[in-house]
Structure 1
Amino acid sequence: MDDLALFIRKFALDNARRYNGVPNQGSVVGKILAERPELKQKLKEVMPQIRAVCDEVKLLPVEKQVEELQKIAPELLEDRKIVEEKKLKPLKNAEKGKVVMRLAPSPSGMQHIGHGVVFSLSHLYCKEYEGKLILRLEDTNPEEIYEPAYVATPNDLGWLCEGKIHETVRQSARLEKYYDYAEKLVAMGKAYVCTCNADVFRDLSVKQKACPCRGLPVKEQHARWDKMFVGYEPGEAVLRIKTDLMDPNPAMRDWPAMRINHHVHPKTGDKYKVWPLMNFAVAIDDHEMGVTHTVRGKDHLDNAKRQQHIYDAFGWKAPEHAYIGKINFEGIEVSKRKIKLEIERGAFDDWDDIRLPFLAALRRRGFQPQAFHRFAMDMGIGLNDKTVPAEDFFKSLEAHNR
């Protein structure tokens, strides 16, 4: 038996003796790649050998599997040292049975390990507080949608969250609600339709000056709002939220909430021409869906401030937000755009190719969602950025993949 065959066999035997004598091929592959990551590049060549070894091993009685493992890799029979697991930090102002959280992915591509950390924490907090978890597909950028994600995302996150998603909603099915709230803000004098050139508006904003559109009467604003649907072309008008022009952060000053977009949407076709931008839709949805707490990346700190303007305008209570710092997975490519191109040129089979860091691939490799949950708990809530080498990430998953 050559070295590679022996290497494969020890993991097949170890996995088989744990699970009634039948090795899980995905788990065996995961162990092999964790120990020898260089085999990722040769996986297509090695897979027939892995399958053959697993088929041989499953024919052995469990006692024979253990006996052989004792001879070739006795270290795998040693009990692992039990490490005390980290606990979740308490959520601010949270009560058991009253917590509502949401997962808010965009169907612009598949879900990778970075998304998985945030979504795992949301799921774990809902379990901890006996709360409700909502999956909200944020698909208000028609030109960026990757249609297969409409099916894949609920599947991937359903697996990650152990089937505990209480409700799934799609933002593109809620356009009329966003229009209603936008019109109310116009009537209240809290929003206005701006037809200024983007560069002109930016220059005025930097100087903390109002654009000419800001002070127009409400009647004129209503007429302009109507014209966004039947008159203006893309780029000619946006709906802006009135904020403090003296805000020290220029990005907070009269930020855009709705814009014109004529791209055909895969779900609604060409029915809608006016689309909400992320901060407006998120604020409306979080309120309407009763979201009490969120977990999100710290890159959303400014977005929370923008959304607060909507809560203040309507007199709503904002959710409690918890943040995590950026996680740099060293040596792992998580760019959906780059991976999509690689799949199209045949470098990878699909998004569940086990060489990829996407949830579908981890699932296919035999990892259990609980292994990812424990990694997410290790990362935890906090603003500090972290760097996680690829080897450490997969070792963590392997250690918890029981």
Structure 2
Amino acid sequence: MDEDIRQQAEEAAEINALFNALKHDSDAQVGAIMGPLMGQNPEFREYGDEIAGVIAPVVNRVNGMDAEAKRDRLEELAPERVEELEAEDEADEHDLPDLPNADDYDEIRMRAAPNPNGPWHIGHARMPSVIGTYKERYDGSFIVRFDDTDPETKRPDLSAYDAILDDIDYLGFEPDEVLRASDRLDIYYDHARELIEKGGAYTCTCPQEEFSDLKNSGEACPHREKDAEQTLSEFEAMIDGEYSSGEITLRVRTDITHKNPALRDFVAFRMIDTPHPREEASEYRCWPMLDFQSGIDDHLTGVTHIIRGIDLQDSAKRQGFVYDYFGWEYPEVIHWGHVQVDAYDVKMSTSSIAEQIDAGDLDGWDDPRAPTLKSLKRRGIRGEAIVDAMVELGTSTSNVDLSMSAVYANNRDMIDEETDRAFFVRDGHENDDTIGPAVEKPIIGGPETGEPPVHPNHEDRGIREIPVEGAVLVEAADVPANGQKVWLKGYGCVKHTRDAFEFTGDEIDVVREGDVEVIHWVPADSSLPMRMRTMDGDVTGYAEPGIAEYEPDDLLQFVRVGFVRIDSVPPSGTEESSGDEPRDRHDEESVTYYAHP
């Protein structure tokens, strides 16, 4: 790391540490500021392994200041962050704005209306996060309605219904009601019949291109004045499947000269020859368009407030024509901008993720490289951390950016105190040849075991006894020059000499004075082979033997590496190395999923 980057990191770390300590009225933690630091300064990311060591002394210095000194120093370095603190102190207790006219309703009822074409990516989490938060705030109802009335172009995936409900459960919410639109065709037919009788719809056999030309010029198609009796007859024929795809539609009669062509006599029902994948709906051929189906369902289920994308403003206007025919009052509508997520190379769309899975580029929906909720769950990130980050985005009509560092920071706050520490020495990276191989060094003198704490902030949780067994493995980048000292964390000070580590017996003062670096290590013979799955590819290495005592789903923090979730641990432990052959990977290995720094 060059001196300019080091100085920038120290300056940015000081501001973030001051802000963090003042905001939470406690000591700042290196882990808690790493996420925001990296998110605000992308140029630091290539030095990820070094940044923690650079900022740790800065954080310690900040923690030695009293609150008044911290605030004065932050005012000096970044007065706008002090203003941010003051604004937070004065802010309303809720991150989300009040729902419009909420007092006018006996109960707040909101809905998420997913297309069940696959499990959810991260962007999908915004809707249930906000709706679920409003439900809790207003003691309202959260409806999940699967909008699955397009069996062709947006064909449902039968496994997606449960997968999406699992995703909602992961986020920490339980719907009060779950509906499938494909179960409700007869309801839509009945409302279409009533609409026809009210003069609000007509059947049209114009080719699509021909109708489009008429619509764009503000001219009515020749079927527009068809009487209700004929329209009803032809609509019944549509229901009976007597037409093929593209032959006929049922249109809502609006204003053919409306200034917005998208609102002129839009389609309510069309014919689709492709059978629906759900057996219960496979016989239907006459299917409602989303604007008609969704509008009917919102009224019948008593939805009071709808949140939808700013690009769907025309939907509310189209549905408004139908509501006017029926004499219904339209729900309150909140339009918001799109959420964009950083940190992923994979396109944030269900179809694109599915294509990459089918092509073998991703191992599945929970591949750590996939921008999906299932991936985040498998990596050990709590759903609440995602919800908090999404809620903080608010409901602005502008597009908003979600930095994954915000999710990571939330998660770190939730798990740090309860997560045990462990050592993991990296031995290689499938996409980064600067990592590894691990280096074996004999130990001359010194204790037979290392005794690092289970958690540095909780002495009552004890120590981890790690056998040394005459030699240790360390990361290649941590090997000091010949004649230089290094501190093996939880073991003591050693000097690199004669291609070995010689125990010196120095006290911890050599670290505090800044003369000796602190590194992690594992025993050369009894360490556990491990593969750590990350967003950037698999990392191979060796973990301290105590890892074998943990169970799948347990969380750990690999010291100087990051938080991980245990995915699998070999039941038989590890094999002994012969000592005569170069150390190699064993057939069985533990697998962890990397959560975040």
TM interval, short-chain normalised? 0.7 to 0.9
How far off is 1:252 after superposition? 0.3
- Contact 1:97 1:130 (C-alpha < 8 Å) held by counterparts: no
Query: 2:189 — aligned with what?
Result: 179
| Letter aligned with residue 88 of structure 1 | L
Moved more, 327-336 or 236-245: 327-336
Give 1:98 shift.
0.9
1:395 is the counterpart of 2:405: yes
Task: Give the root-mean-square deviation of aligned CA atoms.
Answer: 3.0
Within the candidate set 100, 125, 135, 1:116 is matched to 125
Q: 8 Å contact 1:191–1:241 — kept in the other structure? A: yes
Partner of 1:294: 306
Following TM superposition, by how much is the alpha carbon of 1:128 offset from its aligned partner in structure 2, in angstroms? 1.1
What's the offset of the Cα at 1:103? Answer: 0.8
Residue of structure 1 in register with 2:357 after alignment: 343
1:371 aligned onto 2:375: no
Richer in strand (by share): 2
- Taking a change above 3 Å as real, the CA distance of residues 269 and 176 of structure 1, as seen in their structure-2 partners, is closer
**Cα deviation 1:4-47 (Å, max 9, x = unaligned):** xxxxxxxxxxxxxxxxxxxxxxx9xx98xx89x9xxxxxxxxxx
Out of 355, 358, 380, which is 2:372 matched to?
358
Which residue of the partner structure matches residue 193 of structure 1?
203
Q: Distance in 1 between matches of 2:235 and 2:224?
A: 13
The answer to whether the aligner puts 1:88 opposite 2:96 as a matched pair is yes
2:261 pairs with 1:253: no
Moved >4 Å (runs of 4+): 72-79, 81-86
Deviation at 1:355, TM superposition (A): 1.8
Larger Rg: 2
SS in 2 for 1:87: coil
Query: Percent identity at matched positions?
Result: 37
Q: Is the 8 A contact 2:341 2:404 kept in 1?
A: no
What's the counterpart of residue 318 of structure 2?
A: 306
- Deviations along 1:134-159, one digit per CA (max 9) or x if unpaired, are 11111111122122212101110122
Alpha-carbon contact 2:129-2:390 (below 8 Å) kept: yes
- Alpha-carbon distance in structure 2 between the residues aligned to 1:269 and 1:133: 25
Alpha-carbon contact 1:121-1:295 (below 8 Å) kept = no
**Residue identity matched to 2:243:** Y
Contact 1:352 1:364 in 2 (8 A): yes
In the TM superposition, 1:252-331 aligns within 5 A as 252-267=263-278, 268-330=280-342
Which among 211, 215, 224 is matched to residue 205 of structure 1? Answer: 215
Per the TM alignment, residue 331 of structure 1 is displaced from its structure 2 partner at its CA by 5.2
CA distance in 2, matches of 1:102, 1:255: 24
Structure 2 residue identity aligned to 1:103: A
Q: SS at 1:102's partner residue?
A: strand
Aligned twin of 1:8? none
Cα separation, 1, equivalents of 2:241 and 2:395:
46
Structure 1 distance, partners of 2:307, 2:228, is: 37
TM-score with structure 2 length normalisation? 0.53
SS at match of 1:193: strand
Q: How many angstroms apart in 1 are the aligned matches of 2:281 and 2:387?
A: 38
Q: Which residue of 1 aligns with 2:146?
A: 137
> In the aligned structure 1, how far is the partner of 2:206 from the partner of 2:400?
41
Whether contact under 8 Å (2:132, 2:173) holds in the other structure is: no
Residue type matched to 1:134 in 2? I
Structure 2, gaps ≥5 residues long: 1-30, 43-51, 64-69, 71-83, 415-597
Deviations 1:57-84 (A, max 9, x none): xxxxxxxxxxxx99x97889998x9974
With over 3 angstroms needed to count, the CA separation of the structure-2 counterparts of 1:310 and 1:75, relative to structure 1, is farther
What is the CA-CA distance between 1:97 and the residue it aligns to? 6.0
Q: Which residue in 2 is equivalent to 1:234?
A: 245
| Bigger relative contact order (CA 8 A; separation at least 6) | 1
Superposed counterparts of 1:38-53, under 5 Å: none
Q: CA deviation at 1:238?
A: 0.5
Inter-partner Cα distance in structure 2 for 1:255 and 1:216: 16
The CA deviation string for residues 347-383 of structure 1, in whole angstroms up to 9 with x for no partner, is 2221111221111111222222221222122211121
Whichever residue aligns with residue 193 of structure 2, its letter is: E
Is the counterpart of residue 243 in structure 1 residue 259 in structure 2?
no
Shift of the 208–359 alpha-carbon distance from structure 1 to 2, 3 Å rule, reads: same
Structure 1 stretch displaced more, 375-384 or 88-97: 88-97
Comparing both structures, which one devotes a greater share of its residues to helix?
1
